[in-house]
Amino acid sequence: MFFHFWILGKYMKAWRQFFDVTILLTMVGITMGVAVLLVAMSSFSGFETTLKRAIIEAVGDVAIYKRSGKIDKIEVLEKQLNPYMGSVQDKLYFLGQESLVASKGKIAAVFLQGVEKEKAASVLNLKNRITRGQDSWEYRDDIPPAYVGKDLLKKMGLQIGDTFKIILPRTSKTSASDLNPIIKTFYVTAALDLGKYDFNSRFLFVDLPIVQDLLDTRMISGIRLKLKNSDRAEKWAQVVQEKLGWSYSVMDWRQTNKNYFSAIDYEKRVIFFVVLVIVIASGFNVITSLFVTILKRYRDISLFKTLGARPRDIGFLFCLHGLLLGAIGTLLGLTIGWLLCYLFEIGQKVFPLLPADIYRLSFVATEFRTQDIVWICSATMTICFLSTLIPALRGARLSPVEGLKYE
Amino acid sequence: MNKLLMDVKCVTKSFSRKGEPLDVLKGIDLDIREGEALCIMGSSGAGKSTLLHILGTLDQPTLGKIFFEGVDLTRKSSAELASFRSQTMGFVFQFHHLLPEFTALENVLLPCRIAGDSRRESLQKAEALLGRMGMKDRKDHYPSQLSGGEQQRVAIARALIRGPRILFADEPTGNLDSSNAKIIQDLFFQLKQEQKLTLVVVTHDQNFAARFPRRLELKDGMWVSYRF
C-alpha cells in the first residue's frame, strides 16, 4: 500500500488537529455546494418525471392520428401496426372534440374525449388519477358519467354528482351560416388530477360510443398506446412513423411537449453550472486550507523528504488530502441534499409551495438519478483535484532543510 | 586506510540577505572514509549544520562537488537523491522530529513505509531495533508519552532501520540532560561498532567531541583545523 494513505489515515485519527477551522470551513463550502446541486438536480429530474407521468397518464406513451380528418379504416391501420405490437402493452381508441361545458350559468371550452371505458385504466391510468368521486361508468337515471379535470370542476363550480351540459357546435350541411349545436347532459362521476394544469382545466373523459353517437360517426380520432417501456417510446414512434408514412402522425409523449422538455433539459444544465459556482468557490477554500496545512506540516514534509520521500510523493500526499476533503464534503452534501429533498416533498404536502395555476404542476416530486449524482460527484471531485494541484506542487518543491531547523 | 566514501570538493554555500550575498561555507574540502567517526565542531553560525545538510544531500551547494564512492551527487535529481538518501543515509536531529500522531514503533517504521519495504520484515526489524535501544516496552507509546532521551533513542532507531552506510547527527545530545546525553553518546559508539557505520556528528559538546578519533572545527565557513 502507498505510504500516503497510511500517513493520511494517521493524521485523520488525530481528528481534532486534522479538522481545524480552515478545513471545516472548506468542507462546509463543498457540502453546501453539493447539497444545493443535488436539490436542484433532483427537483428538475422530479419535475421532468412528474410531467412525463402526467402526460403519459393523460395521453398515453404514443398517440397515432390521421393528419387529415379521422381514421375510418381501423383494420387497415392495425394490420400495418401488427409487426410492432410486441412492444405495446395495450391500446385505446379515442375520439376527441373541442366543445363547451355549460352549467350554473358558466361556460368553458373543453376538450371532450371519448375513450374506450374498459381501457381507461390500463392505457391512461384514469383510475389512479381520481381525487374525488368514484370510478364508475354506470349511467344514473339515463345520464352518462363523465370524468372531469379537477380545475375544470372548480372553474365551473361543479361538485361530484352534479349534472352539466356538453355543447358540440356542428355546422349545417346545407347552409354555411347555420349552426346546429348538439347538447348532451352528463353527471360528474369523478374529479381527476392529471398532474398538469392544462389537462386539469380542459380535459373531460366520457365513453367512446357516446361521442361517436353525438357526432354521428363510427370513426375515431386516433389510437393511444401504452408501451411496455415508456423510455423507448421515442424510438418506437420513429420506426412506426416511417412505416405508416406521412398520412399518419405518430407522436410520443416527449414529442407532444417537445418545447417543454427541451426547456427543462436546457434549464437543468444551466442551473447545474450556476450552482456549481458554489463548489468552484469552495475549491478556492481547498487551495487556502491546503496551503495552511502545508505550513502546519512543514516539519513533517521536511522529515518525509529526509527519510526518502520524493517530491512527487509529497505532491501526491497533498492531492490525496484535498481529494479526501472533497470526498467527505461530497458525502455530507449528498446526505444533506437528500434530507432537504425529503423536507421539500413533505413541505409541499403541508404548504402549497407551487401554485398550480402558475407552475402548471400541483406537486413536484424529487428524484435522484444515478446520472445526476455521477455528474455532481465527478464535477466536485474534479474541482477539488484541480484545487489541490497548486498547493501540492508547492509542497513538493519545499526544501527539506528549513522545516528541520526548529522544534 | 579504509576506502574513501565521501569526497567533498571546494563546497561553497551562499545565501542572499537583504540583497547582499552571505557566504556560509567558503570552499570546504572534506574526505570521509568508510567506518570512520568524524566530529564537526564550531560556534553557532559557523556553518556546521549547513555543511551537514549538504553532506546529507538535503541541500545543494552553491559551488563545489560532492562525490559518494566516485559518483557526483550534485548532478542527481531530487527524486534520485531521495532514493539515495533512503538507501544510504540515516539522520538524527537535535529536535528528534518524531511525528506526534505516530507511536514509537510507527515512527521507526516510517522510512520503510516510504521506501515500500515488506511490512513483516520491517516490523521485525523495527521491534528488534527498539529492543536494542531498550525501548521494547514503550513501542506503542506516543512521543508525548516519552522522555527526551527516549524520544532521541526512537529517532536513532528510525535512522538505522534501513541499514544506512553513513549516519549524520546534528547536535544529537543538544537537548538532553547530562545523564541522558551520556546514554545517547554511548549508544552512538556501540552502534557504530555493531553496524559498521560511518558516523558524522555535529556537536557543541566538548566531552562528546573528545571521544571522536577525528575532530574538525569550522569557523566562519572555513576549517580552523583540518586533519586528513
Contacts of B76 in chain A (CB under 8 A): none
Element at B70 (helix H, strand E): none
Residue type, A398: L
The answer to whether A13 contacts chain B (CB < 8 Å) is: yes
Q: How far apart are CA B98 and CA A280, in angstroms?
A: 37
Q: Which of B82, B93, B106 sits opposite A308 (nearest CB)?
A: B82
Interface touch B79/A312, C-beta < 8 Å: yes
Helix, strand, or coil here: B31? strand
> Please, which pLDDT band fits residue A104 given cuts at 50, 70 and 90?
confident
pLDDT-derived band of residue A184, with 50, 70 and 90 as boundaries?
A: very high
Q: Which of B105, B114, B162, B171 to mutate to test the interface with A (most CBs of A within 10 A)?
A: B114
Query: How near does any CA of chain B get to the CA of A394, in Å?
Result: 14
Chain B residues lying within 8 Å of A406, measured CB to CB: 95
Mutate: best of A306, A313, A321, partner B, most B CBs <10 A: A306
Closest-CA distance of chain A to residue B100, Å: 9
Average pLDDT over residues B24-33: 90
Q: Which residues contact A387 (CB under 8 A, 6 or more apart)?
A: A283, A284, A286, A287, A290, A322
Contact assessment for residue A269 and residue A373, using Cβ atoms and an 8 Å cutoff: no
Residue B36 CA to chain centroid, in angstroms? Answer: 14
Are A337 and A42 within 8 A, CB to CB?
A: yes
Residues of B in contact with A313 (CB under 8 A): 82, 114
Report pLDDT digits (tens) over B170-184: 988 887 788 888 888
Measure the CA–CA gap between B200 and B53, rounded to whole angstroms: 11
Determine if residue A141 is left, alpha or beta; phi over 0 gives left, psi from -120 to 50 gives alpha, anything else beta: left
Give the other-Cβ count within 10 Å of B145's Cβ: 12
Closest to B105 (Cα-Cα) out of B130, B69, B87, B85: B130
Using an 8 Å CB-CB cutoff, list chain A residues near B110.
Answer: 3, 303-304, 307
Q: Please work out, in degrees rounded to the nearest 5, the angle formed at the alpha carbon of residue B80 by the alpha carbons of B59 and A389.
A: 80
Q: According to the model, what pLDDT value does residue A319 have?
A: 93
A203: enclosing H helix or E strand: strand A203-207
How many angstroms separate the CA atoms of B158 and B188, rounded? 13
What amino acid occupies position A325?
Answer: L
Residue A245, phi-psi category: left (phi > 0), alpha (psi -120 to 50), beta (remainder): left
Grid cell locating A75 = 383494420
Better-scored residue on pLDDT, A334 or A126: A334
B127-139: pLDDT as tens digits: 998 988 888 888 9
Look at residue A320 in the predicted model and tell me its pLDDT. 92
Residues 6+ apart with CB under 8 A from A105: none
Any chain B CB within 8 A of the CB of A296?
no
The pLDDT of residue B183 is 84
Q: Which of B59, B79, B82 has its CB closest to that of A401?
A: B59
Chain B CB contacts of A8 under 8 Å are: none
Please state, in angstroms and rounded to a whole number, the distance separating the CA atoms of residues B200 and B56. Answer: 10
- pLDDT band for B40, please (50, 70, 90 cuts): very high
Q: What is the pLDDT of residue A355?
A: 62
Residue of chain B whose Cα is closest to the Cα of A405: B95
Please count the other Cβ atoms lying within 10 Å of the Cβ belonging to residue A27. Answer: 23
d(CA B159, CA B111): 8
Contact indicator for A305, A401 with CB cutoff of 8 Å = no
pLDDT band at B166 (very low <50, low <70, confident <90, very high): very high
pLDDT digits (tens, 9 = 90+) for A8-32: 898 888 877 778 888 888 899 999 9
pLDDT of B39: 92
Per residue in A49-102, pLDDT (tens digit) is: 887 877 787 788 898 988 888 888 888 888 888 888 888 888 888 998 889 999
Q: Look at residue B88 in the predicted model and tell me its pLDDT.
A: 93
Digit-coded pLDDT (tens) for B84-101: 999 999 999 888 889 999
pLDDT: which is higher, A406 or A205:
A205
- The predicted model gives A134-155 an average pLDDT of 90
Rg (CA), chain B: 18
DSSP A297-333: THHHHHHHHHTT--HHHHHHHHHHHHHHHHHHHHHHH
- pLDDT score, position B143: 93
Q: Is the pLDDT of residue B126 over 90?
A: yes
Q: Which is more confidently placed, A95 or A407?
A: A95
Give me the percent of chain A exceeding a pLDDT of 70: 96
- Site from A3, A307, A314, A321 to mutate, B interface, most B CB atoms within 10 angstroms: A307
Contact B78 A304 (CB under 8 A): no
The nearest CA of chain B is from the CA of A302 a distance in Å of: 9
Q: What percent of chain B has pLDDT over 70?
A: 98
pLDDT in tens, B138-149: 899 999 999 888
Q: Which of A3, A312, A401 sits opposite B113 (nearest CB)?
A: A3
Place of cell 399518419: A248
Neighbours of A67 (CB within 10 A): 9
Q: Could you tell me if A151 and A129 are in contact, meaning their C-beta atoms sit under 8 angstroms apart?
A: no
Contacts of A405 in chain B (CB under 8 A): 49
Per-residue confidence (pLDDT) for residue B225, from 0 to 100 = 67
Confirm whether pTM is higher than 0.90.
Answer: no
Task: Cite the DSSP H helix spans in chain B.
Answer: 48-55, 78-88, 104-115, 119-132, 148-160, 178-195, 206-210
Q: Find, among A390, A380, A382, A377, the residue nearest to A288 by Cα.
A: A390
Quick check: A31 and A212 in contact, CB under 8 A?
Answer: no
Q: How far apart, in whole angstroms, are the C-alpha atoms of residue B62 and residue B65? A: 10
Nearest-CA distance from B14 to chain A in Å?
15
- Per-residue pLDDT at A340: 93
The complex's ipTM works out to: 0.92
Asked if A100 contacts A155 with a C-beta cutoff of 8 angstroms, the reply is no
Write out the H or E segment, with its range, that includes residue A258.
helix A258-296
Q: Please check whether residue A58 is in contact with residue A147, taking contact to mean a CB–CB distance below 8 angstroms.
A: no
Among the listed residues A307, A407, A402, the one whose alpha carbon sits nearest the alpha carbon of residue B95 = A407
pLDDT at A361: 59
Rounded to whole angstroms, how far apart are CA atoms B220 and B206? Answer: 19
CA distance A285 to A23: 8
Q: Which residues of A touch B95 (CB under 8 A)?
A: 404, 406-407
Distance from CA of A367 to the nearest CA of B (A): 43
Alpha-carbon gap, residue A36 to A46, rounded angstroms: 15
Task: Give B154's contacts in chain A (Cβ within 8 Å).
Answer: none
Answer yes or no: are the C-beta atoms of A245 and A77 closer than 8 Å: no
Nearest-neighbour CA in chain B from A319: distance (Å): 17
Confidence of residue B226 (pLDDT cuts 50, 70, 90): low
CB-side exposure of A107: number of CA atoms within 13 Å? 4
Residues A371-401 pLDDT 10s: 999 999 999 999 999 999 999 999 898 888 8
Is a pLDDT exceeding 70 seen at residue A356? no
Close Cβ partners of B77 (under 8 Å, ≥ 6 residues apart): none
Q: Does A305 contact B82 at a Cβ distance shorter than 8 Å?
A: yes
Do A205 and A120 meet the contact criterion of CB atoms below 8 Å apart? Answer: yes
